[in-house]
Amino acid sequence: MAVEESGDFAAAPDAFQRLWTPHRLVYIQNGQQPDQDACPFCLTPKNSDEQSLIVRRGEHAFVILNLFPYNSGHLLVCPYRHVDTYDKATVAETAEISLLTQQAMQVLQHVSGAHGFNIGMNQGQVAGAGIAGHLHQHVVPRWNHDSNFFPIIAETKALPKLLGQVQLEVSKGWAQLFG
């Protein structure tokens, strides 16, 4: 991995350094998008909560642990219906996604003492959506001093808890707070 300064090139320099990761080009070019009939967010609700890592089911949406989390407790809020962007979701779907996101924050504060959150949606493959065909909102818990260079240097993410353990804790926490 090489780091370059913008001042080394033509145009106006800026304050950013560039971390070049050419090994990611294959992922970007290939996209790794599943066919609609293989959409994990459509298939997952058909299995048990424990098997699917689902922590909460609503009427129009559900909450699942991210299989490739940025942090322990990284949740995804997904509508059951296969819809790709937020503007195509129904009012009922967006209302429940919003409610489940608020509840997810409260549950993660309750069970893990999260200090803050990154919340967002990457809509479309070009925007970085790992599963571009099915809308999902990320709820990533953050703690003071939780970031480090381990993922960049060692290409490894240190997660202190197993997914099954987190699924159980978050599910129990949700039941305690919201029945």
pLDDT in tens, the chain (179 residues): 455 555 555 555 666 555 566 655 554 555 566 666 789 999 999 999 999 999 999 999 999 999 888 889 999 999 999 999 999 999 999 999 999 999 999 999 999 999 999 999 999 888 878 888 999 999 999 988 776 655 655 566 777 788 889 999 999 999 999 99
Quote the pLDDT of residue 129.
81
CATH superfamily of 33-178: HIT-like (3.30.428.10)
Q: Establish whether 60 is a catalytic residue.
A: no
Report pLDDT for 36.
66
The pLDDT assigned to 175 comes to 94
Q: Which of 110, 136, 138, 145 is catalytic?
A: 136
Q: Give the pLDDT confidence score for residue 161 in this predicted structure.
A: 81
Check: CB of residue 78 under 8 Å from CB of residue 53. Answer: no
Which residues, in sequence order, are CB contacts of 83 under 8 Å at separation 6+?
Answer: 89, 93, 134, 135
CB 63 within 8 A of CB 77: yes
How many other C-beta atoms can be found within 10 angstroms of the C-beta atom of residue 109?
Answer: 16
Confidence (pLDDT) at 130: 80
Rounded distance between C-alpha atoms, residue 128 and residue 31, angstroms? 9
